[in-house]
A and B are shown apart, each in its own frame.
Chain A
Amino acid sequence: MTDASLALSHRKDRAFARKGLTVAAINGIFFSLDSMLLKTGLGGSPFCDPLFWLLAPLFAAGCHDLAAACLSLGINTAQGKRREVFRTLRSKPGRWCILGALIGAPLGMGGFLLALALAGPAYALPITTLYPAIAAVLARVFLKERISRRTGLGLLCCVAGAAVISCAPAAAVQDSPHLYLGIAFAFVAALGWAAEGVCAASGMDFIEPGVALNVYQLVSAALYFCLIIPVAAAWLVLQGHGSVLADMAVRAVHSRELWLFFGAGWLGCLSYRCWYMGMNMIGVSRAMALNITYALWGILFSVVFMNALVTGRLLAGAGLVFCGVVFVIRSRHEGITLRHAD
């Protein structure tokens, strides 16, 4: 290769990797704000009623994905990619994104909600923060992704830091008769989210990230509103809470919280766009490690917007996540190639 073309190639590689790292890092900020809005909405009436412990979060997740899908379609239409979105829905690589949505919604979100209900947040939150580590293993096995020593170390620091931050104090540990089942569901959720990311990354080999995300969101929203939410609602009706459900539906439509879910969906659209671009440009393991920095941003936003107290545990967790991010950003790859060739 001539010196000029080598220099040009290095320049393009550096710009590509820098852009990938930047969007993956930004993703954590949006993801954190998105989670905060969802949490605020679920804390308000009528969604905070204990009777709706399963239906309310699933409904919120459905509204979130529907709003995100609409904004994504708007952005893609503005960029002239609307036809590419519908072409992708029918294409072979598009099936990976559809599979990601079919895994992510029921296993990821469904498993997480059941883990929260059966084992409590003290177990559910730290276990589900393992998803980037599981995703890295899946990416290594199925996508043959290269994971450098620094990336691996950074990923471990990020996961450990996020687990420390999300660990509930001992007093919050709930005594449940279904504790072990709840813990199993927490692992299923982590596996679901990890598999979702790897499926999407596999599809993105031949699909642009913004388009792949739109396909994922359309399928996920359809799955929530056509299957998951009706099943959860039917379960409530079968338990004899039909009239309460009808009342909840009326109050939900007129509530401020509904708009919080849609707002979260719009933020989620931006967050996921950055995340998908990151996975495509710098690989699943590095993008996942930077995604989990939402825990770090969560501390900052909780202090600024909710006057939360900064404890030693939060500072220790934040320190670990920060060290992990430094390792991930400073990890070097051979050129921009992320995978081992056959």
Chain B
Amino acid sequence: MNRPPSRTVRLNIGAMLLDGLPRTAEEIRSGLAGFYPGERHLCTEAVELHLQALRAVGVVMLADPADDEARQDLTYVLSADGKARVQRNLE
């Protein structure tokens, strides 16, 4: 994440998931908070809504919780198509 301020939050969520690790909305929020200091819209509920919207358009999908049963909430990963679309928009 070289130039985070020039990226929209939703695109940065996709960029964060490029490493293939499943994450919850709260984990994504805490990971992004440093990039958008003082921006009130970056809360867990908003990130959850971003993830739902990204899921609706096929960019992210639900991860298999069997991989990490310790988490209480849903975890998300990029779909194969989503990975290509995120990379295309980051270029």
B-contacting residues of A (Cβ < 8 Å)?
1-2, 5, 8-9, 12-13, 16, 79-81, 83-84, 87-88, 90-94, 204-208, 211, 280-281, 283, 336-342
Contacts and interface: CB of A to CB of B under 8 A. Distances in A.
B79 A341 contact: yes
A12 B81 CA distance: 23
Contacts of A84: 8-9, 39, 41
B2 interface: no
Given A91-B6, A341-B79, A81 B41 contact: yes
Contacts of A208: 8-10, 50, 53
Given A79-B41, A93-B11, A2 B66 contact: yes
Given A2-B66, A9-B74, A338 B58 contact: yes
Interface string B66-88: 10010001100001110011100
B59 to A, nearest CB: 6
28 contacts: A1-B62, A1-B65, A2-B69, A5-B65, A5-B74, A8-B73, A16-B49, A16-B56, A79-B41, A80-B40, A81-B39, A81-B41, A83-B39, A84-B39, A84-B41, A88-B8, A90-B6, A91-B6, A91-B7, A91-B8, A93-B11, A205-B10, A207-B8, A338-B56, A339-B57, A341-B58, A341-B79, A341-B80
A12 B89 contact: no
A12 B65 CA distance: 16
Tell me which of B7, B36, B50, B66 has the highest count of chain A C-beta atoms within 10 A of its own C-beta.
Answer: B7
B56 A281 contact: yes
A336 B51 CA distance: 12
Contact of A205 (B6, B57, B64): B57
Contact of A206 (B62, B84, B89): B89
Contact of B39 (A13, A16, A80, A206): A80
A206 B74 contact: no
Contacts of A2: 65-66, 69
Nearest to B61: A337
Contacts of B74: 5, 8-9, 12
A93 B87 CA distance: 12
A283 B56 CA distance: 9
Chain B binding surface, main DSSP class: helix
Contact of A87 (B5, B14, B58, B59): B5
Interface in B22-52: 36, 39-41, 48-50, 52
A104 B56 CA distance: 25
Contacts of A1: 62, 64-66
B71 to A, nearest CB: 9
B89 A92 contact: yes
A211 to B, nearest CB: 7
Contacts of B64: 1
Contacts of A204: 53
A342 B10 contact: no
A205 B55 contact: no
A208 B49 CA distance: 10
Given A79-B41, A211-B8, 6 more contacts: A92-B11, A93-B89, A94-B8, A205-B10, A208-B9, A342-B84
Nearest to A212: B8
A92 to B, nearest CB: 5
A339 B6 contact: no
A212 to B, nearest CB: 9
A141 B81 CA distance: 16
